[in-house]
Amino acid sequence: MADYPFYAGMTDDSNGDFAITSAGKIAFASIPEGSTTNDIFLLDETGARRLTSDPLDDTSPALSPNWDKIAFSSNRDGNFEIYIMNADGTSSRRLTSNSAEDEDPIWAPNGARIAFTSRRDGNYEIYVMNGDGTNPQRLTVDSSEDKYPAWSPDGAKIAFASARDGNYEIYVMNSDGTDQRRLTRSPEFDLEPAWSPDGAKIAFASKRDGNYEIYIMNADGTSQRRFTNNPPDDRHPTWSSDGLKMAFYSKQGAYFDVFAIDLDGSRLRNITNTNAADWEPNWSPRRRLALDRPGLDPNRLKKKIIKRD
């Protein structure tokens, strides 16, 4: 039985209902009602299922290309480290072990490696490691913070946000860390890049027009345009695997919720809509074939979001 069965049976039809079955699964972090810490949930055709239940925070979930694993960040062992578990929440294990934070994991499209953010060398930088946690390698070396890595669908590039030029902007580099290039130039923060499934576009959150909204640009940084236009902040974009929808989190009511919207800007709908803080959605990537070998504390959540900026 799903924890939040109100999702069950939804269909994507002329009435504008939302069908998770046609576009994969969405993992997200939530502070469930009655709790003060984040746990990981998975939304599929049966509803939203709670996967972790820990007295400390589990955040930043990322589904693997085969949909069989979820990487996430947790401070359950004292500070934030990278963990993985089966997609049903079983067999959780720790991949990193450092005195500094390891956060924001994201799988390579072939499922072999995980990119993540770490402060192990003094400030936030982008690292990659094998999917089992071995062979960690630092990709960025800068005196300012580099965060929010995102693999291109072909695995050749990684987009990320960096404050190296005065404020956070979107950059891209080869997956081995070479050829780091700036894509955006904004007087305000640009964060949380996400590649479209065909690799042609990058969505990101930007505060350039006064509050955080979702923007879309070509993968080379051209044709930047505002995609959402809501009074509250819209953050953490993630594309559906068919490329026809996007999800993000926003506080358009009493709580943060995960919203989905069609790529033509129509049919915005709240797909969590709980008395909880639902955020950091990660829509499952295009599935790789085998042949391809609770009680919301607003002050606490606000502090955590500012910290992650």
Whole-number Å distance between alpha carbons of 203 and 94: 30
Q: Check if the beta carbon of residue 295 is closer than 8 Å to that of residue 73.
A: no
The per-residue pLDDT for range 45-93, each reduced to its tens digit, is 778 899 999 999 999 999 999 999 999 999 999 999 999 999 999 999 9
Residue 224 pLDDT:
98
| Residues 91-109: tens digit of each pLDDT | 999 999 999 999 999 999 9
Tokens 């002329």 label which residue? 14
Q: Which one-letter DSSP state was computed for residue 4?
A: B
Model confidence at 2: pLDDT above 80:
no
- pLDDT > 70 fraction of the chain, expressed in percent and rounded: 85
Is pLDDT at 161 greater than 90 in this prediction?
yes
- Report the mean per-residue pLDDT for the chain: 86
- Residue 287 has a pLDDT of 59
Backbone angles phi, psi at 151, to 5 degrees: -75, 140
Q: Is the per-residue pLDDT at 11 higher than 60?
A: no
Nearest to 286, CA basis, from 244, 257, 248 = 244
Q: What is the pLDDT of residue 65?
A: 93
Question: Considering the domain 5-308 in this protein, what is its CATH number?
Answer: 2.120.10.30
Position 5 confidence tier, pLDDT thresholds 50, 70, 90: very low
Q: What was the pLDDT predicted at 45?
A: 76
How far is residue 159's CA from residue 171's CA, in Å, rounded to a whole number?
6
Average pLDDT on 201-208 reads 97
Average pLDDT over residues 253-281: 92
Report, as an integer, the average pLDDT of 222-226.
98
pLDDT band per the 50, 70, 90 thresholds, residue 4: very low
Give residue 28's pLDDT.
Answer: 96
In this predicted structure, the answer to whether residue 210 has a pLDDT above a threshold of 50 is yes
Look at residue 23 in the predicted model and tell me its pLDDT: 56
Domain boundary assignment for the chain:
5-308
Is pLDDT of 255 > 70?
A: yes
Query: What tokens appear for 210 in the block?
Result: 């006064």
Residue 33's pLDDT is what?
A: 83
Q: Strand 137-138 relative to strand 125-130: parallel, antiparallel, unpaired?
A: antiparallel
Residue 284: per-residue pLDDT? 87
Assign 274 a pLDDT band (cuts: 50, 70, 90): confident
Confidence tier at 24 by pLDDT (50, 70, 90): confident
Q: Is the pLDDT of residue 212 over 50?
A: yes
Residue 297 clears pLDDT 70, i.e. is over it: no
Residues 6+ apart with CB under 8 A from 306: none
